[in-house]
């Protein structure tokens, strides 16, 4: 399977997802569903570097963030308002836990609760 980056609008403008498919059309099909868009509203570009992740059908969050992607925090304490990117991880205490991105606020809360549970 081939890796594709499917994006809203022109590449780089809106939200993007990595999908795995044999053809560009199929990639756009899957991306349309994942981004909750119409077919004509998404574009797909090949990403050969991510082909190696086809078996697991998912590119690790760490890899994407290193490549300049950002994610909405997966935690609940910021009401999923905060974005996590490399900058936030390097300088702001954001972290990836079990493959999911968490902002500094949520990391602090998770640490607090883990301590409490010990």
Tokens of 52: 């190696």
- Which residue do the tokens 């890899």 mark? 63
Residue 18 makes contact with Zn ion by CB under 5 A? no
CB of 43 to Zn ion, least distance (A): 30
Tokens representing 53 are 């992740």
CB of 95 to Zn ion, least distance (A): 10
Residues 34-73: x/- map of binding to Zn ion (CB under 5 A)?
---------------------------------------x
φ, ψ (nearest 5 deg) of residue 45: -125, 145
């Amino acid at each position: 399977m081939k890796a594709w980056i499917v994006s809203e609008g022109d590449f780089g403008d809106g939200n993007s997802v990595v999908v795995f498919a044999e053809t560009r059309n199929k990639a756009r099909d899957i991306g349309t569903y994942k981004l909750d868009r119409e077919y004509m509203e998404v574009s797909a570009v090949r990403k050969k570097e991510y082909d190696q992740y086809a078996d697991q059908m998912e590119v690790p969050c760490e890899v994407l963030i290193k490549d300049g992607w950002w994610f909405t925090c997966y935690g609940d304490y910021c009401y999923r308002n905060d974005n996590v990117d490399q900058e936030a991880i390097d300088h702001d205490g954001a972290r990836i836990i079990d493959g999911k991105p968490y902002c500094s606020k949520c990391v602090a809360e998770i640490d607090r609760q883990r301590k409490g549970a010990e």
